[in-house]
Amino acid sequence: MAGLLAKFGHYTHAVVRGIPSSLATEALRSSQSEVDLAKAHQEHAEYVEVLRTRLGLEVVELPADEALPDCVFVEDAAVVCGDTALITRPGAVSRRGETEAMKEALKKLDLNLVEMTDENATLDGGDVLFTGQEFFVGLSKRTNQRGAEILADAFKDYAVSTVPVTEGLHLKSFCSMGGPGLILIGASEHAQKALKTMQQMSNYRYDKLTVPDDLAANCIYMNVPGKGHVLLHTTGDQFPESFKVLEKLTDYTLIAVSGLEKMKVDGALTCCSILINKKTDI
Q: Is residue 104 annotated as involved in ligand binding?
A: no
Q: Is residue 75 annotated as involved in ligand binding?
A: yes
Distance CA 270, CA 48 (A): 12
Give the nearest distance from C-beta 282 to another protein in angstroms. 5
Task: Kindly identify the residues of this chain, within the stretch 98-117, that bind another protein according to CB under 8 A.
Answer: 112
Give the nearest distance from C-beta 125 to another protein in angstroms. 17
Q: What is the CB neighbour count within 10 angstroms for residue 113? A: 17
- Pick the catalytic residue: 81, 175, 219, 271? 271
Distance CA 154, CA 209 (A): 30
Q: Is residue 145 a contact residue for another protein (CB under 8 A)?
A: yes
**271 has catalytic annotation:** yes
**41 has catalytic annotation:** no
Q: Is residue 67 a contact residue for another protein (CB under 8 A)?
A: no
Q: Is residue 118 annotated as involved in ligand binding?
A: no
Q: What is the dihedral of CA 254, 258, 262, 267, to 10 degrees?
A: 10
Distance CA 83, CA 212 (A): 35
Q: CB under 8 Å to 281, separation ≥6 — which residues? A: none
Q: Note the Cα 231 to chain centre separation in Å.
A: 13
Task: Kindly identify the residues of this chain, within the stretch 196-215, that bind another protein according to CB under 8 A.
Answer: 200-203
Q: Is residue 153 annotated as involved in ligand binding?
A: no
Burial readout 177-199 (b: 16 or more C-beta within 10 A, e: otherwise): bbbbbbbbbbbbebbbebbebbe
CA atoms within 13 A on the CB side of 190: 16
Question: Shortest CA distance to 233 belongs to which of 208, 267, 270?
Answer: 270
Q: Is residue 251 annotated as involved in ligand binding?
A: no
The 150-179 site mask, x for binding another protein (CB under 8 A), equals --xxxxxxxxxxx-----------------
- Pick the catalytic residue: 170, 229, 233, 272? 170
The 8-47 site mask, x for binding another protein (CB under 8 A), equals ----------------------------------------
Distance CA 135, CA 80 (A): 12
Footprint of another protein (CB under 8 A): 1, 3-4, 82-84, 112, 133-134, 137, 145, 148-149, 152-162, 200-203, 280, 282
Residues labelled catalytic: 170, 271
Q: Residues forming the annotated binding site for substrate?
A: 28, 70, 75-76, 95, 142, 265
